[in-house]
Chain A
Amino acid sequence: MASKFVLDFPLMFLNREEAAVIDALVGQIIPSEPGSPGAREAGVTEYIDKALAGFLRELQPVYRSGLIALAEFTAGITEGRFHDLADGQQEEVVRQLAELSERDPSDFAGQFFRIVREHTVQGFFGDPAYGGNRELVGWELVGFPGAQWGYTATQMAPDFNTRTIPMLTIKDLYSRIGGAQ
């Protein structure tokens, strides 16, 4: 079975089991590999929980219903709760769910998958201030230097290796300009 979800942040909306299910699902959307962290290591579940408790609160019922729809969809394929399944079984559930979302855009379970995928990408690539992209793993993966004040003409040149630019976050920029004036 896939590795257990470790709850290392205080939940603001989801309960522990719901968080474990979301964590398994986001882990299938952007998987972990040896030496290459995925959505789970990036703290995407924390991003989603924080967002649902705040900016995305209108989607609370969508997530609650979506988790039920995912459980029902899983039950139609195999025995057991989604987050208890082996990696390969989870992948098979997501494969069928993704196909359904393409085939029938109006199907709610497929819709829910698309919403979680959107939020997975946000949590993986958004600034760590939002609770995801821990250790900047999302930016590291693709080579995005993050929240830079600016770039020099030298850095803008075609042959410049931008991987040498130290990655910065919004928080780093505030330490540059100072706090309240």
Chain B
Amino acid sequence: MSENFDAIIVGMGSTGGILAEQLTKAGLKVLGLDKGQDYTEEDFAIKQDEIRYYQRGAIVAGVNVDPVTWRASDKDTARILPWSAGALGNDEPLYGLPSIGTGGGTLHWGAAAYRFREADFRMKSAIAERFGADALPEGSTLADWPIRYGDLEPYYDRVEYEQGISGLGNTGGVTPEGGNPFEPPRSRDYPMPPVTQGPGDVPFVAATKRMGLHPFRQPLAINSQEYKGRPACVNCGFCHGYPCHVKAKSTTQVTSVPAAKATGNLDLRPLSRVLRINRTTDGKRATGVSYLDSTGTYREATADTVILTAYSLENVRLLLLSDINSNGQVGQHFMTHNFGWFTSILPEPTNPFLGTFNASSAVDDFTSELVPNNDLGVLWGSPIISVVGDLQPIEAYHNMDPRTRKWGLDLKHWLRDNYTHMHRMYSQTTNFPYARHYADLDPTIKDRWGQPALRITHDWDDHDANSVTLMGRYKEKIAREMGAKDYWMDSPRPPYHLSTHDVGVHRMGEDPTKSVTDIYGQVHECEGLYAIGGGQFVSYGGYNPNQTIQALAYFSAEHLLKKLGVDGAHMGVLRAS
């Protein structure tokens, strides 16, 4: 006995929330399924709790429920994420699968909202033009995107205005004070100015300016003033890794999902775990999904349109569990970010508990195609980002100087003397995709429902490590210019291999033999089945992925409405909500 809907959306997070809003507003009856809870404002009324959210991972499923295994290469046996599954297993939202429940990853994200650069969409060509066709590392499966920046610009704009992003944009070719001279062209400014700057950012801005760099205030999906009925950020300092208690963070839990609910067309079923995508007997059309409801009861639902908007890796797992991988491309082209964490102790107080993580500036002087010629063979650069807020004491302990003895008076005095002077920087360097880095199903480890775990095969390559080293040189120059008393950086080959920025695993492309979906996320081999999100990325520069993921969601939604013949008058028109 199954129920029928116009569309089924699997995952009510960053992407799924947007799809749900667009489809329900057009009058379609949508079933929304999410493994997690349907959160309300009351759930996060008070959340200033480092133990609950950062140490115990209250809004992530965690590896006990959703096991993911990792191995460095085909020669190894994969283990459940060794960097987060041990007895020390600090469920850092950063190094596993992101939050579940309404809002998904946008519940806990640091809200850095970047448009990719024009060159990021043609990375392969741009590298060949500059460094020669043979410059790419051996065996890389890098390709240009089938769409260009100009195709996505209107949708980037929609994310900024519909979800709510604060920042300083260049309009009419003019860069405002604190704006980014290197940002890609935009049709209009951000709807809000930046949030209040954290004190630790002041020395970063002064130092980078003295060095002739161009620091700009980071665009953030956080309200700096009241926007669409939601208040401004109150700078609580429990933001990155935490839900927002005042609804100032732009998460689909407070933007798109409520809008979809208000139409009366969304049947949202939380605590529901999709097991399989169902298809016609010839496998050519999607017919619906099988799932376990919140009581553990097996159910089926049917729809001609099934949209996978779970996390990129979880989309892959669902495709593989459903045996949808006829061209062998599902799970290939895995790419992630290596953050190159760099911590300094500054002479002046930075009070790193004030405000959000990214209430700060970055420099784009070395980003993507702007990477300087270098002796390390680095082909693509990254922003260098100043991190100033959200550093509570336990996390500060995890960021300690590795040369300090971590017990006794050494430990106690180090934290006493340095906590309020800590400043961090990070970069997000490219990893090129290779056939040897992929996601598939683990042959032995299963979850508690008997379904195979997802297995990641990935290791850091020389180009990855060299990129971190190169960016580390710039960070070191900035730290010295800031007058840092002490500084240290992460290994260029860090212990983690997942970053919540994992992408590329259901690549979009025009050639059905070399990709999983078309530009709208429609899975080539199965009519009516969509996989939308970071999994569609074809290459990966140095920016946070989410604004591009959400731009793709709007892009796909518009296509779907046209295709389903319900292209409503509201499309592309902002309505006051």
Contacts and interface: CB of A to CB of B under 8 A. Distances in A.
B394 interface: yes
Contacts of A173: 46, 48
A36 B51 CA distance: 23
A141 interface: yes
Nearest to A132: B51
Interface stretch (A2-10, A73-81, A113-121): A113-121
A125 interface: yes
Interface string A130-154: 1000000011011111111111110
Interface in A140-178: 141-153, 155-158, 160, 162, 170, 173-174, 177
B419 A144 contact: yes
B407 A151 contact: no
Contact of B235 (A122, A126, A156): A156
A118 B88 contact: yes
Majority secondary structure, A binding face:
helix
Majority secondary structure, B binding face:
loop
A67 interface: no
B407 A122 contact: no
A151 B342 CA distance: 26
Contact of B51 (A126, A144, A174): A126
B236 interface: yes
Interface string A8-35: 0000000000000000000011110100
Contact of A142 (B197, B202, B237, B420): B420
A127 interface: yes
B234 interface: yes
B196 interface: yes
A98 to B, nearest CB: 6
A94 interface: yes
A127 B50 contact: yes
Interface in B394-425: 394, 396-397, 405-409, 411-412, 415-416, 419-420
Given A149-B234, A156-B197, A142 B351 contact: no
A111 interface: yes
B236 A149 contact: yes
Given A121-B397, A156-B197, A141 B416 contact: yes
A59 interface: yes
B45 A177 contact: yes
Interface in B36-72: 42, 45-46, 48-51, 55-56
A127 B52 CA distance: 10
Nearest to A51: B51
Contacts of A170: 46, 48-49
A43 interface: no
A148 B412 contact: no
A146 B238 CA distance: 10
Question: Which residue of B197, B238, B392 has the most chain A CB atoms within 10 A of its CB atom?
Answer: B392
Interface string B118-141: 000000000000000000000000
A62 interface: yes
B523 interface: no
A110 to B, nearest CB: 12
A138 B49 contact: no
Given A117-B406, A143-B419, A158-B202, A150 B87 contact: no
Question: Which residue of A28, A155, A156 has the most chain B CB atoms within 10 A of its CB atom?
Answer: A156
A153 B196 contact: yes
A30 B412 contact: yes
B354 A155 contact: yes
Interface of A: 28-31, 33, 36, 38, 55, 59, 62, 91, 94, 98, 111, 114-115, 117-118, 121-122, 125-127, 129-130, 138-139, 141-153, 155-158, 160, 162, 170, 173-174, 177, 181
Given A30-B412, A162-B349, 12 more contacts: A59-B87, A115-B88, A121-B397, A126-B51, A143-B419, A151-B236, A151-B237, A153-B196, A156-B196, A156-B354, A160-B199, A162-B353
14 contacts: A31-B412, A33-B409, A59-B87, A125-B397, A127-B48, A130-B51, A141-B416, A143-B419, A147-B46, A149-B234, A151-B237, A153-B196, A156-B196, A158-B349
Q: Which 5 A-B pairs have the closest CB atoms?
A: A150-B234, A147-B48, A125-B393, A142-B419, A158-B199
